[in-house]
Amino acid sequence: MAKKKRYLTATMPYGYVKRIGPTTDRFTHYWRIVAELANGKTEVFWGHTRSLGDATRLKAAAGDGARMRGWKSYVFEIVEVVEEPVGE
C-alpha cells in the first residue's frame, strides 16, 4: 500500500510560515538558523528532522559551525510541524 502524501506546515512564533511537501516522510520538527555573517549579510539555513532530539542535536552543533564559519551571531529556531493531507 502506498504511503499517503501530505503537507507539513511549520509556523514560527512571529508568524513566518514554511510549508514542506507534498511528502511521505515522517518529519516532526522544522529548524532554521539565521546567521549574521562577518560582512553584515545574513544567511538562512533550514531543514526538518524526524524528532525533537535530532533537532536539538543540530542546535548544539550550530555553535561549532558558527565558530568555524566566523558568524558574528546566529539564532537557532525549532518548531513542531503540523500535517495536512494533500488536496485539502
Percent of the chain with pLDDT over 90: 83
Tell me: the pLDDT tens digits for 42-68?
A: 999 999 999 999 999 999 899 998 999
Partners of 19 in the beta sheet? 9
Rounded distance, CA 4 to CA 85, Å?
8
pLDDT at 49 (0 to 100): 94
Average pLDDT over residues 67-75: 94
pLDDT at 29 (0 to 100): 96
pLDDT at 1 (0 to 100): 57
Average pLDDT over residues 15-42: 94
- The candidate with the shortest Cα–Cα distance to 74, out of 38, 41, 35, is 35
